Structure 1
Amino acid sequence: MRTFRSICFVALGVFAGNAWAADPAYDRIVDDVVARYHLPGVAVGVIEDGKVTYTRTVGEAEAGSGKPITSQSIFKIASNSKAMTASVLARLVDQGKLHWDDPVVKYLPDFRMHDPWVTEHMLVRDLLVHNSGLPEGGGDLMLWPEPNHFSREDIVHGLGYIKPAYGFRAGYAYDNLLYVVAGQVAAAAGGAPYETLVQREIFAPLHLSRCRVGAFDRDATGNVAQPHVRGEDGRYKVGDNTDAVHVEPIASAPAGGIRCSLDDMLAWMGNWLAPTEAQKPWLSAEQRKQMWLARTPMPVSARRKRWDNTHVYAYGYGFRMADVDGQWTVSHTGTLSGMYSMMMLLPDKRSGFVFMINGDADDARTVLGETLLKQFTAPQQHATVKQYADELDAEAKAAAAASKPAKKAEVARKPVVAPFDATRTGTWRDPWFGVVRVCPAGDRLTFVSDKSPLMHGTIVKVGDRWRIDWDEDRMDLEAWVDFKGDGVARRMTLAKVDPDGDFSSDYEDLAFERTGECPAR
């Protein structure tokens, strides 16, 4: 299904009176991507020279529901939330309530990093630019899978136990936890909970009427897109992490917990690309400049160099910056189980695009984003959807073929029931993740986490190794379990079976000590 709408935005009049129609080039791109990847639903919007010129919605908010995606459908924007969190801080800087160079401990006295010197010298701006020394995705198991029982206070406390992977301000590694800390700093400086600040500083003044953060009623809100995952047949199905009627607040909101509609995301983009005279005071020219300064260099992949001729790639305050075909871009993506998104701005052209997909769609996002981007940077020279998609498929096949045969054989060995060995069973504790229990349950040996209830599974023996086979489908990365030592010195560590799996499954950052026996059954 497609929807073309001519409406008047009320976001301080930013797009008032603008109408748009179908564009064959954009239609062809969207059609080809949807057909190639069988997407459950997608919403796409384009701004050209400060005006919305195209919108397109396809599919259903929930497969089989008959409820179409519209420009008012609410999607999880995942890490596109980071720019909004950074903007809350920028607003507070404009108001004189904090400064970018303030120490974090000024606002959060209990804040700790693993190194006391880093604790003392961590500044508010350091929270936003991914150069803290934390390992990539370090501590993300306190955020995902959801729902879990970790609070923001738990996250602030747990940071002190996560060992750094490199020196402070010495390199780039993407993290989420420090954005949660940034939300707590904003709350302390702004005198209100993070969710209240986002409503007050972002949604209300920019009239983002469909955006949501924190608790809300799904049915009263209406038109809420649900996440989808790929089934064994390669087709999408509704995920098991669909929303309850009462959507609860989540600790991860400052890093990736905001939801918005296509109309609201276009209004958000317009505020950055072509702010009206009424909008300009929302954020000072100085703070707008600070948000988009390239601060932490990021690695430029071979594909990015080949496709886009990129020379500079860097992170700012909640945004990524890069040159593409000689043009400057400001962007971010969002990734959650069953929800993918991208926002791409070309400031010099006052143009850009945004799209949101309610399905696990890594390759689809890459291909859709690249083909849309080339409409602005190289309209006569870019490849087709099929060419980009075929190249990604070839890369994946090559990577699979290059996997170590011994590793493949080890994973493929038939698992057997793990013995109830007293040196392995018991209660175990990691200083930031908390308590887990490795205990018999009937004829199974199970792994159960206290604070992350979806992390429960059966421990099996595969050759000479032990593995956790998770009970929940959304736990898609199995984990190896290794036991070392004896007596009070017993240790348990985890590692991804697929070492190239998503970094948010940061099993490698866990280090459990045995603290007691299994509870009596």
Structure 2
Amino acid sequence: MNKFLKVLSFSALSATTLISAAVAAQTAEDIRATAKQTLDAFNIPGIAVVAVKDGEVILAEGFGVRDVATGEPVTADTLFGIASNTKAFTSAAIATLVEDGKLDWDDKVIDYIPEFRLADESISNQLTLRDMLSHRSGLGLGAGDLMVWPDTDKGMDDLIKGLAKVPVRGALRQGFAYNNLMFILAGEVIARVSGMPYHEYIRQEFLQPLGMEATAVGYSNIPEGYDNVAVGTIEYYGELKRFPLDFLEDFSSAGAMASTVNDLSQWLLTQLNQGVTPGGERLFSEASQHTMWSVATPLTSNGDPATNFRGAGLGWFVKDYHGVKHVSHSGGILGMLSLTTLIPEHNFGMVVLSNQQAFGGLTAITEETLEDLLALEDRDWVTEEQERYRQSLQEKTDFVLQQPTTTRPALSRENYAGTYRDPWYGDVLVTLEDDQLRINFTHTELLEGRLEHYNADTFVVRWDEPLLEADAFVEFQVTRDNDVQGARMEAVAPFTDFSFDFHNLRLEKVQ
């Protein structure tokens, strides 16, 4: 190449670099403006956002406050619980063991956890790692979550024994039903095959190589003295209520990670670089990423004209979106949300974290950014999502439990008192205190409340902690001789989180 052409080439390269830098700066400024707007629009105390493009971090920043009690600001180093965004790390950990020849995606779970059983013996014998990681086990939505939510005292042995009694709702590989316990069991496979606890394997294989020094698997593993930690809030009847929580410690490999946007920038860059870290170390292969980002369990497109297909990959959700591949996952805790989005064809990724459970705020920030990235028709995502959010709050405010047109009295309250036992959860106590029936889920401190008579032998439990928003029917089963033999439960409101899977309980009175 002659000197003149070299100058032209250098000039063209410089111009391209300048243009890319200008685009990145504008994108960052747009994200910043939307994030600030979202705080007020959705009554969110604090948000953190990271965005990466073409191998560079274009924004990693905090907005608002991390704790409404102290007013301390959110920064790029504020720890948030990322909940189910943990699942992508779990799938990647399985990938590393596959590449080491220690596992195969289609290995049976019982090969590594011989005592593992589901209520359907044929599924028990056939369920694979791929099945677990793509939510096609035959278990229902959130089935068994009450063994880990909220904050139970159960260990892995209890979960494995309990799973054998959780009702199976479908056939293996015949449909999608999101299930956390399958990912918890995947973490147990990782522990048994690697010879180290799940959190330690993730630390050694991912967090250390990526320099994610603040990130921890489990609230108890947050570095000692690290106080830059977000505290969740819930908007309840128009007021923000502070709701401290341990970031789903019990969810382990399904949802226990806490991270910052600075740390997550390295995870995004590695994902977009087919498993190679910004420092050049390969964590997993391009083939493994293709496996994780391929649809294993198809889902309907939900009538979205921008999407022709969507489905569950392994630890991710995948769809086409305005003609490009869209890879994502969300995470939710009471009082805290997260959303990860990757557009590989544009070498772009972002994570939004918040300490309020207004998911529309995270959606608005993400969609406004994708709108610019993909040159889509302009929409006011903040206004649209704000309206949806306000409608959902209004639905909660307006929700009134319909009373039956005719009612029958209950038995004397002492008849219902006793110990009730579910095969997979364990003991639930119903006690009579000062002529008031109370219920106590013995493995879960937050699930205590009073029973309010509804009709005949049906009561409604009003939990002592109303921010759970999980009041439930308790329908006692009574013989013709007025002998109380058991109870069934069901959430009262349609907006109750699916992890309160009361409907899967089969409570039998044992004393």
- TM-score range relative to shorter protein: 0.7 to 0.9
Aligned to 2:207: 203
Are 2:441 and 1:449 aligned? yes
- 1: CA distance between counterparts of 2:289 and 2:433? 56
- 1: CA distance between counterparts of 2:86 and 2:337? 12
RMSD (CA atoms)? 2.7
- Are residues 388 and 499 of structure 1, via their aligned partners in 2, closer, same or farther at CA, if it must alter by over 3 Å? closer
Aligned to 1:103: 108
Q: Secondary structure at the match of 1:345?
A: strand
Gaps of 5+ in 2: 1-20
What do residues 496-519 of structure 1 show as CA deviations (whole Å, max 9, x unaligned)?
A: 101342211111000111101xxx
Q: Shift in Å at residue 32 of structure 1?
A: 2.0
Aligned to 1:519: none
Indicate the larger mover: 495-504 or 482-491: 482-491
Q: Secondary structure at the match of 2:462?
A: strand
Q: After the TM superposition, which residues 338-353 of structure 1 pair with which residues of structure 2 at under 5 Å, given as runs?
A: 338-353=335-350
Match of 2:367 among 365, 370, 388: 370
Check whether the contact 2:339–2:353 (CA below 8 A) recurs between aligned residues: yes
Q: Secondary structure at the match of 1:360?
A: coil
Q: Shift in Å at residue 92 of structure 1?
A: 1.1
Match of 2:460 among 433, 452, 467: 467
- 2: CA distance between counterparts of 1:154 and 1:171? 27
Check whether the contact 2:137–2:171 (CA below 8 A) recurs between aligned residues: yes
- Are residues 83 and 269 of structure 1, via their aligned partners in 2, closer, same or farther at CA, if it must alter by over 3 Å? same
Q: Shift in Å at residue 276 of structure 1?
A: 5.3
Q: Shift in Å at residue 388 of structure 1?
A: 3.6
Query: Match for 1:285: what amino acid?
Result: E
Q: Secondary structure at the match of 2:216?
A: coil
Task: Compare CA radii of gyration and give the structure with the larger one.
Answer: 2
- 1: CA distance between counterparts of 2:364 and 2:426? 40
What do residues 112-136 of structure 1 show as CA deviations (whole Å, max 9, x unaligned)?
A: 0111111111112211000111110
Check whether the contact 1:73–1:261 (CA below 8 A) recurs between aligned residues: yes
Check whether the contact 2:429–2:441 (CA below 8 A) recurs between aligned residues: yes
Compute the TM-score of the two structures, normalised by the length of structure 1. Answer: 0.86
Are 2:455 and 1:458 aligned? no
- 1: CA distance between counterparts of 2:35 and 2:144? 36
Are 2:229 and 1:224 aligned? yes
Aligned to 2:121: 116
Indicate the larger mover: 273-282 or 329-338: 273-282
Aligned to 2:3: none
Match of 1:496 among 491, 494, 497: 491
Aligned to 1:5: none
- Are residues 338 and 400 of structure 1, via their aligned partners in 2, closer, same or farther at CA, if it must alter by over 3 Å? closer
Aligned to 2:264: 265
Q: Secondary structure at the match of 2:169?
A: coil
Are 2:379 and 1:386 aligned? no
Q: Shift in Å at residue 286 of structure 1?
A: 1.8
Are 2:68 and 1:76 aligned? no
- 1: CA distance between counterparts of 2:468 and 2:259? 26
- Are residues 476 and 394 of structure 1, via their aligned partners in 2, closer, same or farther at CA, if it must alter by over 3 Å? closer
Aligned to 1:13: none
Aligned to 1:47: 52
- 1: CA distance between counterparts of 2:368 and 2:213? 30
Aligned to 1:57: 62
- 2: CA distance between counterparts of 1:383 and 1:242? 33
- 1: CA distance between counterparts of 2:392 and 2:64? 29
- 2: CA distance between counterparts of 1:425 and 1:436? 11
Check whether the contact 2:214–2:260 (CA below 8 A) recurs between aligned residues: yes
Q: Shift in Å at residue 382 of structure 1?
A: 3.1
- Are residues 209 and 156 of structure 1, via their aligned partners in 2, closer, same or farther at CA, if it must alter by over 3 Å? same
Check whether the contact 1:324–1:377 (CA below 8 A) recurs between aligned residues: no
Gaps of 5+ in 1: 1-17, 517-521
What do residues 380-422 of structure 1 show as CA deviations (whole Å, max 9, x unaligned)?
A: 4333411343355468879999x9xxx84329x9x99976434
Match of 1:175 among 172, 179, 182: 179
Check whether the contact 1:320–1:332 (CA below 8 A) recurs between aligned residues: yes
- 2: CA distance between counterparts of 1:272 and 1:223? 26
Q: Secondary structure at the match of 1:281?
A: coil
Aligned to 2:416: 424
- 1: CA distance between counterparts of 2:294 and 2:101? 21
What do residues 316-373 of structure 1 show as CA deviations (whole Å, max 9, x unaligned)?
A: 1101101111111111000001110001000111102111001122232333332233
Aligned residues: 482
- 2: CA distance between counterparts of 1:395 and 1:153? 39
What do residues 146-184 of structure 1 show as CA deviations (whole Å, max 9, x unaligned)?
A: 2x2111221121111111211111000111000000000
Indicate the larger mover: 176-185 or 360-369: 360-369
Aligned to 1:6: none
Q: Secondary structure at the match of 1:289?
A: helix
